Structures are given as structure tokens and as C-alpha cells.
Structure 1
Amino acid sequence: MTDWNSTDPNQAVDDAWAALEKEKRKLADLGKHWDEASTTVRAKDQSLEMKFDGRGELTDLTFNTSKYRELAPAQLASVIIETLRKGRVESQQKVSELMGTSSVPGLDLDGLTSGNVRPDEMINSLMGPMLEALNGFGVDIEPPKPENRDRETREHG
């Protein structure tokens, strides 16, 4: 963890840089996983199987037997949805295991990859302590606010 209020700002920057480099390597591994990994799950009744890519997106659906023809439409839909959810959960678990926990406070890679954390909020969380410390050194930097960014985007975008 970087202590931005440290008496040695150079060491704080070096520590932060090392931590971010570690996270950068994790993100590179994540990109490779997204490109190369897959997950295959079968329905409980073995009637179908689904294949997911490294991002957890469905890439293939195979009906293994003619059993699915005997299912009522609502029951078949339930089997499909249940298997789809199972596959996405397993895919996300693989990503979570790959990423582990972050050593950088405010960096929630699992939340980011699952879509539960907004990237702009994560950046503000990461940069906030550093910007506050810089303000303490007399460097006047105001952290970006999502609503300001949105307004600027509308005005200039």
C-alpha cells in the first residue's frame, strides 16, 4: 500500500509504480485468458452443454440427446437458463482466480471484470489519495468528477 502522506514522496511514487506494474501484468494475463480460455458446462439432466469463451460469453450450444424434445417449452427454457448461469459463474470464477486480490487499494479488478464496478469510479478511488497528498504539497489538482466528465463529453464530444 502506498502511503501518499509519507515524508519521502519519491518512495511513495516508486511503491505506487511497482504496485501498478504488478496489476498491469495481471491485466495482461486477463487479456490472454479472454482470448484463449473456454469453459464447458452440462445441464444437470445432461440434455445439453454450453461452451463459453474467456469472457464468459456463450459461444456454442449442443443438444446431447433427443431428451430436450420431450421437455415442455417452459422446462427446456429453465434448463437453458440454469445452464447459462452456471457457465457464466464458472467463467467468472476462473477470472477471479486468475486475478486474485489486488495489492492496490481501490483497484477492484474482480468488480471491474464482472461489470459491478464502473471504471471511472475505480480510477477516482485509485487517484484520490494521491491527489489529496499532492494538494498537501501545494500542487492544486482537483480530482475529476463523473458528472463533470459527462458534461464535458456532451459539450465537446
Structure 2
Amino acid sequence: MSDMRETIEQRLARAMADLEATQAAVTEAERELSTASSTVRSQDRAVEVTVSAQGDLTALRFLDGKYRTMPAAQLAASVLEAAQEARSVMARQVMHAFEPFTRPHDAVPELPGVNVDWHKIFGPGVLDGPRAGDDRLSSRRLRDEIHEDTED
């Protein structure tokens, strides 16, 4: 009967091996993300922004000279829109890399995965998903609000 049952020492050894494998996987995910970035163009294709895995803006390009004929508020809205989308894409990439660590461990099902509050980490709005028709409306509203603010 003892042959069929796993001893506490065996379970502990499996749990320690699983913990070491998890630590190695987390280290690898962190290493990969340390050089990761996301580059997105605004919907009007006037600007392109790149953000790091931490969501920091690392590059900004004005495309095809469109910025020269855009009102300042519209250009600002394009930059903000592209930056927000790039942050959202990068946040989903980070979540995907760390998702396996949020599940219970196979070796020790009693140990749950890490509970991560992604909204607390990335902030409001970052995880709202990819662009959709609704985003264009909100982007237009933002441009209108910026435009209205500059007239005052």
C-alpha cells in the first residue's frame, strides 16, 4: 500500500522541483520581456509609437509629413491614441508571458497559481482590448475636447 501512495518526502521533492522550474521560467519570461516592445501606428497613420514592456514610450515617429498639416490638437490625439494602443498590446503580451504562473501547479494542485490584479498593475483602460469602431468615436471625442480646450 505504501508503494501506491506518495510519501511526504516525495511530494516535497516534486514541489521543490516544480518551484525551481517555475522560478527558471519566470526568469526566462522576465529576460524576454526586458527587450520586448510594441510599435503601433495611429489609425490616421500620422504617427508611430513604440513602448517598452513597462509601457514607457521609447520611440515616436511622425509619418509621411502628415503632422505638418494637422492641427496641434489632432496630432496630440493621434500620439495619445497610438501610445495607448501600444501600451495595451504590450500589456497583453506581458499577461500572456506570465499567464502560466497564474494557474495551479500540476505537481502540487493544493498550491494555487499567483493571483495577479492586472488592472492594478497596468492601470485603467490599458486592458480594454484591441481597437474597435468604438475607439474611433472616443478618439474623436478626445480630439473634440482637446480642440475645445485650446479655443478657451
Alignment TM class, shorter chain as reference: 0.5 to 0.7
| Secondary structure in 1 matching 2:48 | strand
Map of 2:99 onto structure 1: 100
- CA positional deviation for 1:13: 2.9
Q: Separation in 2 of the partners of 1:114 and 1:42? A: 26
Q: Separation in 2 of the partners of 1:27 and 1:114? A: 20
What amino acid is aligned across from residue 55 of structure 2 in structure 1? G
Map of 1:130 onto structure 2: none
- CA positional deviation for 1:112: 6.6
Deviations along 1:37-65, one digit per CA (max 9) or x if unpaired, are: 22211111111111122333211101012
Q: Percent identity?
A: 27
Map of 2:50 onto structure 1: 51
The alignment yields a C-alpha RMSD, in angstroms, of: 2.9
Q: Separation in 2 of the partners of 1:23 and 1:98? A: 13
Map of 2:81 onto structure 1: 82
Map of 1:20 onto structure 2: 19
Q: Separation in 1 of the partners of 2:33 and 2:50? A: 14
Deviations along 1:69-106, one digit per CA (max 9) or x if unpaired, are: 32233222221111111101111122222223323414
- Structure 1: any 5+ residue segments left out of the alignment? 1-6, 117-157
Q: Separation in 2 of the partners of 1:106 and 1:35? A: 23
Deviations along 1:92-146, one digit per CA (max 9) or x if unpaired, are: 12222222332341413x5479726xxxxxxxxxxxxxxxxxxxxxxxxxxxxxx
1:115 aligns with 2:114: no
User: Normalization by structure 2: what TM-score?
Assistant: 0.58
Counterpart contact for 2:47–2:60, Cα < 8 Å: yes
- CA positional deviation for 1:11: 4.1
Counterpart contact for 1:92–1:114, Cα < 8 Å: no
What amino acid is aligned across from residue 27 of structure 1 in structure 2? V
